[in-house]
A and B are shown apart, each in its own frame.
Chain A
């Protein structure tokens, strides 16, 4: 079945550092790919998405590019802030799991120190 694998956390960086959180997926067909973020005390929120190969999703300075050849959707940000501290989840939908189900990775906890 479909699956998503994220780099293990926790990840700790200093403010203004460059961030990469790796995400790879296994799926048949052409899934849509997502990054969700969970800030402390809040519900999951959609951060960005890409629905076809080579699409780039972006939001709040974060970017991720849908790479079908490497089955990856790595999350990047050029200069992180303390307010980016959260848990980040990579997810997919629309492959064998069906369009209505999101399949999530295990999450990566990010802590940014001032």
Chain B
């Protein structure tokens, strides 16, 4: 596609359930990022992939959060045993390799944990 695609756009789940959020980056972009945006706040960094490997996962809040990018393209953010505090918009972004290319964001996946 032309831009970064995220699915689902909205997800409502119950506390304790498992959730997967998918990101399809712009074709050819080797760098992929996940951010989390809570209500009224700016996005916060979660994890960064360069190719298939997680180059920096220092932003993941705890071991309930995990992300993969097995073929260096699509990425999945996985949240186990969801808690109400996990409710937020999860943003994915991608860019070409290197540090100076523009970062392109998807529209986000809004997660609501009841």
- Measured CB to CB, the residues of A under 8 A from B are 4, 36, 41-46, 89, 91, 94, 97-107
B103 touches A46 (CB 8 A): yes
Interface-lining segment among B12-20, B43-51, B67-75: B43-51
B42 touches A100 (CB 8 A): no
Q: B1 on the interface (CB 8 Å rule)?
A: no
Residues of A within 8 A of B55 (CB): 100
Residues of B within 8 A of A103 (CB): 45
**A107-B42 in contact given A43-B3, A43-B108 (Cβ < 8 Å):** yes
Report, nearest first, the 6 A-B pairs whose CB atoms are least far apart: A104-B42, A44-B105, A43-B105, A99-B99, A101-B45, A43-B107
CA gap between A92 and B82 in the complex, in Å: 30
Within 10-29 of B, Cβ neighbours of A (below 8 Å) are at: none
Task: Report A37 CB to chain B, min CB distance, Å.
Answer: 11
**A41-B107 in contact given A4-B42, A103-B45, A106-B40 (Cβ < 8 Å):** yes
Q: Which residue of A lies closest to B98 (CB)?
A: A99
A100 touches B56 (CB 8 A): yes
Task: Report B52 CB to chain A, min CB distance, Å.
Answer: 16
B91 touches A43 (CB 8 A): yes
Task: Report A75 CB to chain B, min CB distance, Å.
Answer: 14
CA gap between A46 and B103 in the complex, in Å: 7
